[in-house]
Amino acid sequence: MIYRKEMTMYPYQSNIRLGAVSLNVNDLEAEVQYYQKVLGLDVLDRDSTSATLGVLSTQDALVRLVQIDSESPKAYGLYHLALLLPSRSDLGDFLNHLIKHQIAIIGGANHGYSEAIYLEDTEGNGIEVYHDKSESVWDKQGDKINSITEELDVAGVLESAHQQNQNSAFRFPEKGKMGHIHLSVASVPEATSFYQNVFDMTEKFAVPAASWISSGGYHHHFAFNSWAGSNLVSHAQNGVLGLLDFTVYVTNPLYMAQIKTKAESLGQLRTKMDTGLVIEDPSQNRIVIKLEN
C-alpha cells in the first residue's frame, strides 16, 4: 500500500498520489492564459468548453478548467490547490518570474516544513506554489508535524534561483506535482474525520477551525478550514463556480477496495467504475479515485 513513485524528490511514503484539480470557470480563455503565463503550465488538451493543463513532457495533468454559465453564490469547496516544486531554486525562479511580470501575490510564508507563495487566479481560486524544506528540519513531535506561519525569506528565495534562468520564461518543472489540496468546509471535525477514515490518514497539525492530515510521513495531503463560517451553500459541483472535483490515485487494489467499503458505509459512494470510484465528502466536494499501475 506504499506509493513509491519519484521517491528521490519526495522523501516520504504515502499510499496516494494527488492528481488534477478540476475547476468550473466563467471565462475559460482568461483562466487558460493565467495558468499558462503565470504558472508556466502546458495545455495538454483543449476544446470549446474545457482545457487540461499540466506538464507536457510527462503528460501529468494538474488543472482542468470547465466553462459554465453561472452566477452561483459562494460555496464550500476549494481554499487553494497547492503545486509542489522540486527545490528552493525552482521557487526562486518562480518568484523572479512573478516580480519581473508584476504579477499580483496574495502572500508568502515560511511554514517550517515548507516555503510558500500564495496567489489567486482570475476568478479568485486560491493557489499555493511551494517547495518542501529538508525533512531533517521539520518540527516532528511523534506523529505530529508542527507548522508555523512566519515571514517568507524573500531575499533568500531569490538568491537560490537558478542564475542561468534569470531571463528565461518560467516553465513549471517536469518533476513538479500537486502537493496538497486545502478545502473550505462547513465542519472541520466532520471533514477531517471523514478523510482520515476513508483514506486511512492521520492528523499532523490542528488549530481551532482547521486541520492538516496526511498519508504516510508527509506534512499534509489535505487541509480543511471553516474560516468562511457556517452559512455558505454546500457544493453542488456541476452548477457552482470553483471546485468541480479532484483526483486521487492509488496503486493497491486492496486499498481501493477499503476506500470503497468505507465510503459506501458512510453513504458517500456515488459511482463505481472498473478502474475507480467517485465519492463525495460531507460538504459535497467530489473526489475521483483512480487505480494506476
**So where are the chain's domains?**
17-291
Q: Give tens-digit pLDDT for 134-156.
A: 999 999 999 999 999 999 999 99
> Whole-angstrom Cα distance, residue 160 to residue 87?
9
Q: What is the dihedral of CA 98, 101, 106, 111, to 10 degrees?
A: 10
**pLDDT tens, per residue, the chain with 293 residues:** 444 343 345 556 788 999 999 999 999 999 999 999 999 999 999 999 999 999 999 999 999 999 999 877 678 899 999 999 999 999 999 999 999 999 999 999 999 999 999 999 999 999 999 999 999 999 999 999 999 999 999 999 999 999 765 667 899 999 999 999 999 998 999 999 999 999 999 999 999 999 999 998 999 999 999 998 776 766 555 678 999 999 999 999 999 999 999 999 999 999 998 889 999 999 889 999 999 97
Contact present, 125 and 78 (Cβ < 8 Å)? yes
**Percent helix, percent strand, percent coil in the chain, to nearest 5:** 20, 40, 40
> Whole-angstrom Cα distance, residue 262 to residue 256?
10
DSSP state, residue 103: -
Contact present, 84 and 177 (Cβ < 8 Å)? yes
Return the CATH architecture of domain 17-291. Roll (3.10)
The grid coordinates of residue 274 equal: 472498473
